[in-house]
Amino acid sequence: MTRAPAPAKINLALVVGPLRDDGKHEVLTVLQRIDLVDRLELDEAPELRVEGFPEDTLVAGALRELARAAGIDPRWRVRIEKKIPVAAGLGGGSSDAATALRLANATLPEPLSREELLAIAAGLGADVPFFLADGPQLGRGDGSELERLELPQDFWVVVLLPRRAEKSSTADVYAAFDARKGPAGFAERRSTLLDGLAQVTRPRDLAALPPNDLTTSPLADEIRAAGAFRADVSGAGPALYGLFHQRADVSAARRSLRRLGRTWVAAPAWYG
């Protein structure tokens, strides 16, 4: 049996453009792992079983695709201990799938190459390849084309899942973005993000990155009022994050924000 953490992610920036020919939107996004994690354990079994999280489809699908690519039957048992909020914009399902791929691939007599794993991951969802890469990454295209970033990692994160938050489907969030003519000006916002990244040398510089194009929340102002130097929605939401310099400050902010919903304190994580 092998075990591994499956970390959440936050989008430190997300700029969204028009629809591509494949029906997906062009994006440019800064992806950062944090140490809010699910935990997975995997061992070989007579047949594929995923336990601990009845709603899972992504891990099971990932392992079936891995088995197909390896020319074997999917014979693994996976147990998921969920800690990352579901459907919150934090990538928990994608991270679980990527972690299961890594663990199961290591059990194969002839493990697939990194490139083969990444191809499987990209077919599962745009965020999944990120969780097979180390460190913060710049996601291009549909988000799955990755470029390693050298970003400061000496900050703290508070995550807020607003009380009674009801997430629209990701498809609905993108449809609303299109309806308000969100793609207009993509080239300029893209340039602003790239120019901002080039100037980042310390955590506070992350505050100058453009805000999330897809969705906003007035609770970002509450997080900034609690001392965050940057606050925004992660991905398609509804979870928000705030960045802080000191552990004492993020702990105090968490206490003050609990009235608004569930909260977690986290730090950047380099890899799964």
Per DSSP, the residues of 227-254 read T-SEEEE-TTSS-EEEEES-HHHHHHHH
The span from the CA of 83 to the CA of 39, in Å, is 8
What pLDDT was estimated at residue 169?
85
Token pair in block for residue 78: 């996976």
What pLDDT was estimated at residue 165?
79
Q: Are 78 and 40 in contact (CB under 8 A)?
A: yes
- In the annotation, is 127 catalytic? yes
- In the annotation, is 56 catalytic? no
Specify burial of residue 177 (Cβ count, 10 A radius: 0-12, 13-18, 19+).
Answer: middle
Measure CA 16 to chain center.
Answer: 16
**Range(s) within the chain of domains with CATH label 3.30.70.890:** 156-266
Tens digits of pLDDT across the chain (272 residues): 899 999 999 999 999 999 999 989 999 999 999 999 999 999 999 999 999 999 999 999 999 999 999 999 999 999 999 999 999 999 999 999 999 999 999 999 999 999 999 999 999 999 999 999 999 999 999 999 999 999 999 999 999 999 987 777 888 999 999 999 999 999 999 999 999 999 999 999 999 999 999 999 999 999 999 999 999 999 999 999 999 999 999 999 999 999 999 999 999 998 75
Question: Which ranges constitute the DSSP H helices of the chain?
Answer: 58-70, 92-105, 114-124, 170-179, 186-198, 219-225, 247-257
Q: Which CATH architecture has domain 2-148?
A: 2-Layer Sandwich (3.30)
Ordered DSSP codes for 104-125: HHTTSSSPPPHHHHHHHHHHH-
The span from the CA of 23 to the CA of 40, in Å, is 32
From residue 33, give the alpha-carbon distance in Å to each of 7, 8, 14, 272: 6, 6, 15, 8
Q: Are 218 and 260 in contact (CB under 8 A)?
A: no
Of 38, 96, 127, 232, the catalytic one is 127
**Range(s) within the chain of domains with CATH label 3.30.230.10:** 2-148
Superfamily name and number for 156-266: GHMP kinase, C-terminal domain (3.30.70.890)
Name the β-bridge partners of 50.
Answer: 78
Nearest one of 38, 33, 35, 34 to 3, comparing CA atoms: 38
Task: Count the Cβ atoms, other than its own, within 10 Å of residue 195.
Answer: 12
